[in-house]
Amino acid sequence: MNKTIFSLLGLFLLTCGAFFLEAQTREVITLKKGWKFNKGQHPNATKIDFNDAKWETVTVPHDWAIYGPFDKEVDKQTVAITQNGENIATEKTGRTGALPYIGEAWYRNTFSLENFDGSKKVLLLFEGAMSEPEIFLNGKKVGEWKYGYSYFYFDVSKYINDTSENTLAVKLTNVGKSSRWYPGAGLYRNVRLIVKDKESFEQWSTFITTPSITENEAKVNIKTKASGTDLKLVTKIFDVNGNEISSQETSTVINDEFEQNIKVNQPRLWSPETPHLYTAVLKLYKGNVLKDEIAQRFGIRTIDYSPKTGFSLNGETRKFKGVCLHHDLGPIGTAVNMSALRRQLKILKDMGCNAIRSAHNMPSFEQLELCDEMGFLFLAESFDEWKKPKVENGYNRFFDEYAEKDVVNLVRATRNHPSIVMWSSGNEVPDQWGSEGVKRAKWLQDIFHREDPTRPVTVGMDQVKAVMESGFGAIMDVPGLNYRVHLYEEAYERFPQGFLLGSETASTVSSRGIYKFPVEIASMKTYPDFQSSSYDLEYCSWSNLPDDDFVLQDDKPWVIGEFVWTGFDYLGEPTPYDEAWPSRSSYFGINDLAGLPKDRYYLYRSRWNTTDETLHMLPHWNWKGREGETTPVFVYTSYDSAELFLNGKSLGIQKKNNDSKQNRYRLMWMDVKYEPGTLKVVALDENGNPAAEKEIKTAGKPYQLVLDSDVKTIKANGEDLAFVTVSVVDKNGIPCPTATNQLNFKVKGNGTYRAACNGDATSLELFHLPTMKLFSGKLVVLVQSTEDAGDIELTVTGKGLKKGKLKLKSVN
């Protein structure tokens, strides 16, 4: 049997340490290893004696499609994309990443349960299965679900073999024309068995809120349900160091529910700046016998939305400085990975980002745990479709039967996360037109309110004129506008809420390190190389530039924040090149698909990160053949003014001003004539004195590879990743920003090569093969730990280049 076993408390507190069960009343078995996988139809795969010896052995989480190959025929469609304002159908390629996610596949695994008897209950929990999963245990169908992003579970007690091995089989079916982006494929999130007493807490029934908070004390309200009679609930609250700070017990059950109000003295409040967390340990007794025990982490904080203050957290007005994130993790696809998620959030934290929107699907449990720990406000979204379709085989097929069940599971499974401050019931749904759509919006919002009365609900609305006329926008707790900046004023006047949220903003497109001339503002601009300019002046037909949103955020107190599309590039939706090939991933990201910052990262950082200095200059300064031609220089900085020098000669001082939206947020020298050498910017403080400086230089020929890892040690658990940025420099150590050398990767010791990514949306090189070209002088190599601690060495080579080496350690 291949399984990972934790007590539930241990599972929940893996990142916290500090707590131990007094007796093991339940166990959680995470089915990670030993899975057999095969793509294709296997009608007998449910049988216990089915021979799967020749199937591939994989670990879960697993994404079968990320291994490619890229093929334009996979997702070629002739369609008019309504959300993009299209009326005429054209051939689209790469819309879902051009990866082979379509088809039927099977997973099989075996497990046994020691000392299992009739007093036990077993739940089988899936945290995400793409898509339309059908579950079989010991040859019998347990149940099925439809939504690939939903969490769901079944009580499988009656299907369990008491003493012998159990065979689990999962059938997944991904159909074409079912997504607008790369959805992934397979058991891409964890699968767990929860073994407990029949007299135990009901799954996801615990709800912790903090309805009353002062400087001296907080009331923690705990509601939970349990199966059984004559039971007693004992709850203890611990601080982050494991110190018990409060407790209470009760035997009173009203409407099948325990309820406790527990005082916490001198509460430490949760916020993005101080993400303090507490843990409630709930113990269920029958007489003196402990029947069940769970742990739930939570935060003490208040949220409020009002016309006077907009959004406030703990009584302090603040704006959402947020990004939207799709669920894929670039070169490892949709298979959830804690270290990859943590790296994303670290990059965003440094940018000054304080909020995440899970677009357009339910977030992973791991992402929410990290947002709790690291301090991110979270907008948890549910659907991209309701009853009316966007794509032929989308969620519209399941809406009537599953929408309520999916919302209930989302809310109950995640509502104790302090990071979540808002729900979203949909994104740009075609149901925005007409009275039926208004009724659906109200129906869904009421379900959210029933399951969680403490948080508001929004919808990302792109048909702003329609929702103003129909009343759709007026009924939302939080009116969310996707783009349509020219309608903000009118929407504010017509909607009754007294505030607006930029639920999706910008959709500016760029390719890291690529610059186009002449430099000009343009919509849907395309080029022969299928790249977009990193001068950050190109956007889509329905969208706008970052500066348009900045003005609204800064000048309109009733605009409560924004969620930029997107924090990172993602697989699929290669606008403006969705009619071109090869192009298989987005250009919207503030960071590219490899997680490397584009120039735009520093534009947002100059506004959002209010504690650290930002001084960034673009473009690079390697323009052989453009000598004497106009090559504008932009500076993104937290300072208001700066002086530019080229080879020691001053090109003048620029100061932020209100002459245009761009001048307000960028320093721009539009008439610079290119000559090789050194470009230097000197930022000036409010008194006009030099405060910081930065140089970029013209590089010689590529000479040596340089490796830099985001971490020096990784955990020896077979899952942890190190992200190693590989760049090339000349003999003088100057970066070569135009290098495209083919590189090869080799990992020795207690680690393995996992993947590589260069951020090029047109690259058809497979992520999992140990070779890839540099793009704009860089790429990222992912090194994965084994289960043995020790040394790891990554070697990167390229023809004509001095090789690079990097040593890492894996630790227990």
What type of residue is 101?
A: Y
Catalytic residue among 27, 127, 293, 428: 428
DSSP 673: B
Cα angle 166-119-4, degrees, rounded to a multiple of 5: 45
Exposure b/e, 16-30, CB count within 10 A at least 16 = b: beebebeeebbbbbb
DSSP secondary structure letters along 256-293: TBEEEEEEEESPPPB-SSSB--EEEEEEEEETTEEEEE
Count CB atoms within 10 A of the CB of residue 308: 11
CB distance 120 to 27 below 8 Å: no
DSSP secondary structure letters along 720-786: -EEEEEEEEE-TTS-B-TT---EEEEEEEESEEEEEEE---TT----TTSSEEE-BTTEEEEEEEE-
Q: Could you tell me the two tokens for 444?
A: 């869904």
Known catalytic membership, residue 27:
no
DSSP 419: T
Q: Is 148 left (phi over 0), alpha (psi -120 to 50) or beta?
A: alpha
Cα angle 763-619-704, degrees, rounded to a multiple of 5: 65
CB distance 540 to 509 below 8 Å: yes
Q: Where are the alpha helices (DSSP H) in 386-480?
A: 399-414, 434-451, 464-470, 472-475
Q: Could you tell me the two tokens for 567?
A: 């924090």
Among 453, 316, 445, 307, CA closest to 383: 445
Q: Could you tell me the two tokens for 5?
A: 């076993």
SS3 readout for 40-106: CCCCCCCCCCCCCCCCEEECCCCCHHHHCCCCCCCCCEEECCHHHCCCCCEEECCCCCCCCCCEEEE
**What are the CA-CA distances from residue 137 to residues 55, 108, 118, 160, 484 (Å)?**
19, 10, 18, 8, 50
Q: Where are the alpha helices (DSSP H) in 352-431?
A: 365-374, 399-414
CB distance 142 to 135 below 8 Å: yes
CB distance 391 to 179 below 8 Å: yes
CA-based radius of gyration for the chain:
27
Catalytic residue among 369, 504, 538, 719: 504
Q: Could you tell me the two tokens for 13?
A: 């507190």
Torsion over CA of 189, 195, 196 and 202, rounded to 10 degrees?
Answer: 30
Known catalytic membership, residue 695:
no
Torsion over CA of 110, 114, 119 and 121, rounded to 10 degrees?
Answer: -30
- The catalytic site residues sit at 428, 504
